Amino acid sequence: MKDVPTINVDRGPIPFSERIYLGPIVKGLAVTLRHFLRNLFGHRDVATIQYPEVKRQYSERLRGRHILTTKEDGSLRCVACFMCETACPADCITIVAEEDPEATVEWEKKAALYEIDLLRCVFCGYCVDACPKEAIIMSRQHEMAFGAREEAVVGIDELRQKGPIEDQDLGYRPYF
């Protein structure tokens, strides 16, 4: 073995000062008392968050529920290229493509069906990384509860961006 710098943490037999309990017990009580008094009077240091009235502030990168972004006219930006479906490690995205009749370019595709099974999803953000159109981004919404398994499979209507982009609780997006 190479000569590695080691540090020996052995403490040897219990010295007399520790054997009589008293010193360490007083020291220990001082620690707990300090924490108790700080929690009682110094509210700024309290670690407990009064959930659900107060919630933890998450960063702008939090990977929460997905949003399918829209163009100005309200149609989805998604061009059904299947990149997110391919990149998804959990196989939770299902896309069915169709021709977009309103597109200015011929043979332009759009998603006829776009479903995410939120119970399968592992929220890794690979779909956001894979999307070449910035059509799927993530919000910070992470509190999801469903009454039945079927309700967890969400489609275009549930995922579509509602209102202007600034009003969304934006989470993980490209450009980071």
Partner 1 sequence: MTASSTKSSTQLPDAEALLPADAVISSARAADGHTELTVDRSRLLEVLRTLKERPELDCDLLLDICGVDYPRRDQRFEVVYHIASLARDHRFRVKVPISEDDATVPSAYGIWKAADWFEREAYDLFGITFEGHPNLKRILTHGGFHGHALRKDYDPGQRWLLTEEDSMVPAWATEELTDEDHLESQVLNLGPSHPATHGTLRVVVRLEGETISKAECEIGYLHRCFEKMSETHGWNQVIPYTDRLNYCSSMINGVGYALAVEKMLGVEAPPRAQAVRVILSELSRIMDHAVCLGANLVDLGALTNFWYFFQPREEIYGLLEACAGGRLTVSYARVGGLAHDVPADFEERVRYLLDYIPKFVNDVEKLITTNKIFRDRTEGIGVVSPEDAVAWGWTGPCLRASGVPYDVRKAHPYMGYEQYDFDVPVASTGDTYARYLVRMEEMRQSLRIIRQAIDDLPEGPVITDDHHVALPPKEKVYTEMEALIWHFKLIYEGIHVPKGDAYSFTEGANGELGYYIVSDGSGHPYRLKVRPPCFAIFQAFPHILEGHMVPDAIAILGSLNIIAGELDR
- Binders in 19-48 for partner 1, by CB under 8 A: 19, 21, 23-25, 27-28, 30-32, 35, 47
Residue placing its CB nearer to partner 1 in the complex, 85 or 155: 85
Q: Candidates 68-76, 108-116, 125-133, 146-154 — which segment interacts with partner 1 by CB under 8 A?
A: 125-133
- Alpha carbon 100 to chain centroid distance? 33
Give the count of alpha carbons within 13 A of 14, CB side only: 7
50 near partner 1, judged by CB under 8 A: no
Residue 19 or 162 having the CB closest to partner 1: 19
Beta bridge partners of 70: 76
In sequence order, what are the residues at sequence separation of 6 or more whose Cβ sits closer than 8 angstroms to the Cβ of residue 63? 123, 124, 125, 138, 171, 172
**Taking CB under 8 A as the rule, does residue 165 contact partner 1?**
no
- Maximum CA extent, the chain: 89
Residues 108, 95: contact at Cβ < 8 Å? no
Residues that bind partner 1 (CB under 8 A): 1-11, 14, 18-19, 21, 23-25, 27-28, 30-32, 35, 47, 58-59, 61-63, 83, 86-87, 89-90, 122-126, 129-130, 132, 134, 138, 171-172, 174-176
